[in-house]
Structure 1
Amino acid sequence: MTAAVLATACAVIFGTADFFGGLATRRSRVLAVVVFSQIGGLLLIVPLLAFLPGSPSPAALLWGMASGVAGACGIVMFYRGLATGVMSVVAPTTATASMAVPVIFGLITGERPSSLALVGVVLGLFAVTLVSRSPNDPAHGSRIGSILNALASGAGFGGFFILLKLAPEDSGVWPLLGARIASIALVALLAVATRRSLRPIPGTLRVTFAAGLLDMAANVLYLLAAQRGLLSLIAVLVSLYPASTLLLARYVLGERLSPVQITGVGFALGAIALIAAA
């Protein structure tokens, strides 16, 4: 039950972070948003290390750095998709892919959720599929490009979830320190190699840091949940984050939600209830 609560809270905060990240990338350079949001997350995790239980170890930092590489690739593709596509299409499609990868991994490696939990998994996948159906109809080429970005992003996020789960259980949130160091270094090197500026557009730094702080808070909740529950269940709950992204996009940006998407949000709540009760 504790793991389900942590994962659900993680999903809400992840969705909010993605909304702020999407706003930032529409106004600034994608790599600049990624780097400065990651720095914002680093500023949050460093003080938390002194207060949350956990022991640093080479294994914790190495698994964290590996997850940081996967996550950095995922977030670059995700923010790129948000900057060029419809937020209510990109976020759910990414979530579908990021859910499938760790769920399959968990089942292959021997996790066996209860029958009730498996019903929740199926309902959660159905929910994400429903909210992925956008009432907007962007140009075909733009839609295909956004979906490809989202699928690649989801694969990166799925790898991030798996690699963090593989860190020693007694490491606390130390793997997240390794993840942030690796992701910042990777994106900075990418910017140098492609000769792209990391200077943020004036007026965007505040929302960029907000995205990074929220993203790191969600990462902490995910890691704590993964240390207490099955990856195949935690990943489903975390991947329901598009619900909060969609609601924010609806009420802040005025993006329309179709009846099918609203139904999907309802199914998401049902999936949460089933997995939490299992």
Structure 2
Amino acid sequence: MTAVVLATACALVYGTADFLGGLATRRSRVLAVVVLSQAAGLAVIVALLPFLPETPTPGALAWGAASGLCGTAGVVLFYRALATGVMSVVAPITATFSAALPVLFGLAVGERPEPVALGGVVLALLAVLMVSRGPSDGKTGRGYGPILASLAAGAGFGGFFVIIAQAPADGGMWPLVGARLISVTLIALLAVATGRALRPGPGTLPVIVAAGTLDMAANVLFVLAQQRGMLSLVAVLVSLYPASTLLLARHFLGERLNTVQVVGIGFTLAAVALIASG
């Protein structure tokens, strides 16, 4: 039950961080938001380290760095897919595949959730697909390129969950330090190589910092959750984060939800209940 609570809280915090990041990208360049928010998250975890009992180990930092490579690749490929495809196609493919990969990995290494919990996993994957689906304009993008990029982005995000879960438990939060150092460095180098400015738009820096802080808080919750529960259950609960992003956008921005998204939010709640009871 503790893992379910932590994973559900993680999804809520991830969704809030994405909402704030989305607000910031309306007035700042995407790469500026990504780099500055990632840097803010790194500052948060580094500030917390003196208060944590664990000490850094090569294994913890190495697993963290590897997960950071996957996460960074996921971010770059996701925005690449968005630039060449359609949101209503890209988002559900990426979100569903990022949820499915840890589930398949967990089952492959011997995790055996109860049948009720497995039913919740299936319902959760369907919910992710539904809540991530926005209005379509009838287009599918430029051929198969955006679809392949979406699948690769989902593999990157799912790989982050799988790899960071392999870090030794005695490493505490140090894997997150390795992951964030890699991601900040690589995305900053990408911004420099492409000549993109990293200056935030007027008034957006506090929002960017808040997004980065919450994103790191969500990462901490994920690490704590997967240390206490099955990856196949924790990761799929975490992947329900688009539901909270949608609800925040509905409440604060007045964005309308389509019927599929509303049903998907209902499926989200049912999936959490099934997994918690399994």
Measure how far apart 1:253 and its partner are: 2.8
Deviations 1:160-194 (A, max 9, x none): 10111010011111100111111111111212222
Give 3-state SS (helix, strand or coil) of 1:272's partner. Answer: helix
1:26-175 matches, within 5 Å, as: 26-78=26-78, 91-134=91-134, 136-138=135-137, 140=139, 150-175=150-175
**Worse overlay, 192-201 or 4-13:** 192-201
Deviations 1:195-227 (A, max 9, x none): 322222332222211111110000000011011
Change beyond 3 A, Cα 1:254–1:77: farther
Give 3-state SS (helix, strand or coil) of 1:27's partner. Answer: coil
In 2: Cα distance, 1:210 partner to 1:231 partner: 27
Measure how far apart 1:103 and its partner are: 0.9
**Worse overlay, 165-174 or 246-255:** 246-255
Give 3-state SS (helix, strand or coil) of 2:26's partner. Answer: helix
> CA contact under 8 A between 1:37 and 1:212: conserved in structure 2?
yes
> CA contact under 8 A between 1:88 and 1:246: conserved in structure 2?
no
Tell me the residue number matched to 1:237: 237
Change beyond 3 A, Cα 1:230–1:164: same
> CA contact under 8 A between 1:30 and 1:76: conserved in structure 2?
no
Change beyond 3 A, Cα 1:151–1:117: same
Measure how far apart 1:248 and its partner are: 1.5
Change beyond 3 A, Cα 1:208–1:249: same
Give 3-state SS (helix, strand or coil) of 1:140's partner. Answer: coil
In 2: Cα distance, 1:143 partner to 1:244 partner: 30
**Worse overlay, 175-184 or 259-268:** 259-268
Measure how far apart 1:233 and its partner are: 0.5
RMSD: 2.4
* Structure 1 unaligned regions, length at least 5: none
Tell me the residue number matched to 1:277: 277
AA matched with 1:174: W
In 2: Cα distance, 1:85 partner to 1:246 partner: 21
AA matched with 1:120: G
Tell me the residue number matched to 1:17: 17
**Worse overlay, 225-234 or 202-211:** 202-211
Change beyond 3 A, Cα 1:90–1:271: same
Change beyond 3 A, Cα 1:94–1:251: farther
| Count of residue pairs the alignment pairs up | 277
Deviations 1:149-169 (A, max 9, x none): 544332211111011101001
Measure how far apart 1:230 and its partner are: 0.8
TM-score (norm 2): 0.90
Deviations 1:123-144 (A, max 9, x none): 111212222333x233615598
Give 3-state SS (helix, strand or coil) of 1:49's partner. Answer: helix
Change beyond 3 A, Cα 1:150–1:201: farther
**Worse overlay, 13-22 or 68-77:** 68-77
AA matched with 2:190: L
In 2: Cα distance, 1:164 partner to 1:143 partner: 34
> CA contact under 8 A between 1:243 and 1:265: conserved in structure 2?
yes
In 1: Cα distance, 2:112 partner to 2:189 partner: 41
